Chain A
Amino acid sequence: MRRIGDDKTFALAVLIAALLIVGALLGPLVWPLGPLDMDFGAPLAAPSFAHPMGTDSNGRDVFARFLTGARISLAVGAIVVLAGLVVGGAIGVAAGIGGRVVDTILMRLIDALAAFPPLILAMAVTVGLGVGLKTAAIGIALSSVPFFARLMRGDILRIRTLPFVEASVAMGAKRGRIIARHLLPHTAPTMLVQCASVFGYAILTLAGLGFIGLGAQIPEPEWGAMITDGMQYALTGQWWLALFPGLGVLLAVIAANLLADRLEESLNPRSARNQVR
């Protein structure tokens, strides 16, 4: 069995992730230009030493916007994973131990959520609650709930029939204790993999919503909205506007998926990966 850290792909994923995280946390503090500072003297300037990623039509520095965009994407990714894990996980646990009626009701609810292609469900939420970055995050989180809930339920159903859990029940342990001490810890490996995978999904979907105008709105330095803004200039020669934010999304999602893959291989060597999306 290969261990974490053995191969180059994994090292690459960690490196990308570390760069993006450091850039997102420290970049906006260190870089002198702000994401919304306009410089009308230098609109649509090509990448140079002063503007490593060029400037947009209002002379805003694309690198500064890229860094803030990383902050937005990673933050939304983290929020979505947290919310999806807590809500979806709770539903999954309740369905797994709650008995037949609870299980049926909860799983039909999950089926209804999963009846939409994930991106479309997120779209529906933003249309209903009003367009914006916050509602986009809520929509993406909601669309990730079925991923977590189904996986968690399956895990709980599997683990709760294992001998050590039954022994604990037989010894009179309380339900809360069994869940906290015996069931949840054993779902950690699958949940960890799912978290990494959903993190990538969230970043990709956020960019998609921003691109079609249902997420962050255009002056906001969000990667998807930046690509929309850059689209009209891409074919007139100002390729840097759309190129860099897209690369950001690509790198972030690939890093997340590589981590998910590698974790899966090391933590659950035997399970066939339960694919999201």
Chain B
Amino acid sequence: MLRLISGRIVTSLISLVGASLIAFVLLRLTPGDPARLFLGQFAGEDAVQALRAELGLNGSILSQYWIYMGRFLSGDWGFSYSTGQSVAGLLLARFPATVELGLFAFFFAFVAAVSCALVSVYRRGPVSDGGVRALSFFAQGVPPFWFGLMMLLVFFEGFGWLPGPEGRLGLRIIPPPTVTGLLTVDSLLAGDWTAFKDAIRHLILPAVTLGLMPFGFLYRLLRANLEGITREPFITVARGRGLTRWAAYVRHALPNAFLPTLTAAGLLFGQLLAGSVLVERVFVWPGAGALVTDGVLKQDFSVVQAFILLSAFIYVLTSLVVDILAAMLDPRVAQSQGGGR
């Protein structure tokens, strides 16, 4: 077990070093002198040279990489030219909105995937099975930003049931005092029902849009696992003990189908992270993803570059945690991985 965990940590570290090298090389390939960009075209050559020295741009490639990583790890992610603020500050301020959206999207994806998988395995009819299957293909094939736009067209423009692209709260709603940064939690803490309801209404469309792809992915995974598990002898035993088929599926098959889902959680996380870049802009959601798209529009790539490396770190660390968790929960995983390496 310990061997497995330490081995997994080492490989994660190696892939992070590799990933940061890739990010660094791509950063250096970006045309333009960062010092010149920062100071503008009218700055004197002396000032540019001084800043180059300060930024560590004059050393060897290796020392430049070293400085780059040192800065990144100490939380100095550079400076955004278009807003005049530090990238770390900008991203940090935008993070709660992305986290809240991601949580709701994940919740939607999970609940929808579990119910769809159960229904399509339990009622193996052409209608339920085919319908859910079609839905999963749609979820995995639809460009999320386009789907969000179409949802706005139907539910905001068409029926007027849900708010339009105006961010996390309506204009007339006073935001609750910030405690966690998650508006739903903060408004509940403040006992502000109006703000809570408004925050939820604003979350529905973006969360469904962002959760659609993870839903398709999770559904297919869960369904395949459930299929296999319902044929296992212990399900027959459970039925023999007098459980109904439904109870046997929900209580015995479902928990066992979750484990492979857990190991895929890293991938899911990556989908949510990448998806936030695609989805937030459509809903003018003030999160980190929208910050990235704004950066692209303004040709201010410092935010984009920080986000790229940051997402690699988050992605790798989630997979690491999830793999260790899976090994702790299921000794079979620990054995197959520890013995194989």
Contact = CB atoms under 8 A, between A and B. Distances in A.
Interface of A: 108-109, 111-121, 123-125, 127-131, 200, 204, 207-208, 211-214, 224, 227, 231, 234-235, 239, 242-243, 245-246, 249-250, 253-254, 257-258, 272-273, 275, 277
Contacts of A127: 26, 30, 301, 304-305, 308
B: interface residue count bin = 35 or more
A142 to B, nearest CB: 9
A44 to B, nearest CB: 16
Given A120-B273, A124-B23, A213-B293, A234 B141 contact: no
Contacts of A214: 296
A140 B326 CA distance: 31
A20 to B, nearest CB: 13
Given A129-B29, A213-B296, A235-B157, A115 B316 contact: yes
Interface stretch (B47-55, B109-117, B143-151): B143-151
A239 B301 CA distance: 31
Contact of A116 (B137, B147, B157, B315): B315
B174 interface: no
B308 A123 contact: yes
Interface string B60-88: 00000000000000000000000000000
Contacts of A254: 137-138, 141
Nearest to B267: A277
From DSSP, what is the main secondary structure of chain B's interface residues? helix
Interface in B213-247: 217, 220-221, 224
Interface in B3-61: 11, 14-19, 21-23, 25-27, 29-31
B18 A115 contact: yes
Interface stretch (B92-100, B193-201, B275-283): B275-283
A112 B264 CA distance: 18
Contact of B141 (A124, A128, A204, A224): A204
A223 to B, nearest CB: 8
Nearest to B130: A9
A234 to B, nearest CB: 5
Pick the most buried of A130, A213, A273: most chain B CB atoms within 10 A of its CB. A213
B26 A125 contact: yes
A160 B15 CA distance: 28
A120 B267 CA distance: 13
A246 B278 CA distance: 14
Contacts of B274: 117-120
A121 B153 CA distance: 31
B217 A211 contact: no
Given A117-B273, A227-B145, A212 B293 contact: yes
Pick the most buried of B150, B274, B278: most chain A CB atoms within 10 A of its CB. B274
Given A127-B301, A249-B143, 7 more contacts: A109-B18, A117-B273, A119-B277, A119-B278, A128-B30, A208-B145, A250-B146
A108 B296 CA distance: 31
A128 B27 contact: yes
Given A115-B315, A246-B150, A108 B15 contact: yes
Contact of B271 (A111, A116, A117): A117
B152 interface: yes
A114 B277 contact: no
